[in-house]
Amino acid sequence: MIEHRPALFLDRDGVLNVDKGYVSRIEDFEWVEGVAQTIKTFNERGWFVFVVTNQSGIARGYYTEEDMTQLHAWMLDELAKDGALIDQIYHCPFHEAGEIARYRKDSFDRKPKPGMLLQAMADFPVKREASFLIGDKPTDIEAARAAGVGAFLFRGGVLSEFAEWALASFEDGVR
């Protein structure tokens, strides 16, 4: 029998890193304070940790999917140095107004639609009712609710403090 576990879903820009607009290079990446601690703490609790990120900069031609993949590999390596593990990063490179033809389309994965969260729950044995997302935009919150998980709007500060507050609120029935 597979044991289902809760999942912490995290948006990327504005939650893991300071949102400077279409961050695609290591030299432009600035961690939000408390990210590694947040992920490590949830790892230690036995939770899955997923990143779900819209990456319309790919469709817009600002950077390539390879650029994003390299940045994500660097992020994972940096987090691992602190004992923090992201189970999977899900991204959506599509946008209806994209400049790059193969990425110019509507997508069920693009938040506020729930595709990336639903895919994570299909790929891993996630306990949906015990899971929540931290995002920095209303579209993140809409995607989480559409996927049937809790949602909390992060407006900056120390992520580890916010995540502990969100977990306590979630356990108290705030969704």
Q: Which of 42, 48, 69, 49 is nearest to 58 (CA)?
A: 69
**101: amino acid identity, one letter:** A
The size of the chain, in residues, is 175
Tokens of 93: 């490179």
Q: What is the three-state SS of 134-166?
A: EECCHHHHHHHHHHCCEEEECCCCCHHHHHHHH
Give the CATH number of domain 15-129; options: 3.40.50.1000, 1.20.1250.20, 3.30.70.920, 3.90.1150.10: 3.40.50.1000
- Which residues 6+ apart lie within 8 Å of 53 measured at CB? 11, 12, 13, 89, 90, 91, 92, 116
pTM (2 d.p.): 0.97
Q: What is the pLDDT of residue 34?
A: 98
DSSP H/E element including 170: helix 159-171
**Residues annotated as part of the active site:** 11, 13
Q: What is the pLDDT of residue 174?
A: 76
Sequential pLDDT tens for the chain (175 residues): 789 999 999 999 999 999 999 999 999 999 999 999 999 999 999 999 999 999 999 999 999 999 999 999 999 999 999 999 999 999 999 999 999 999 999 999 999 999 999 999 999 999 999 999 999 999 999 999 999 999 999 999 999 999 999 999 999 887 7
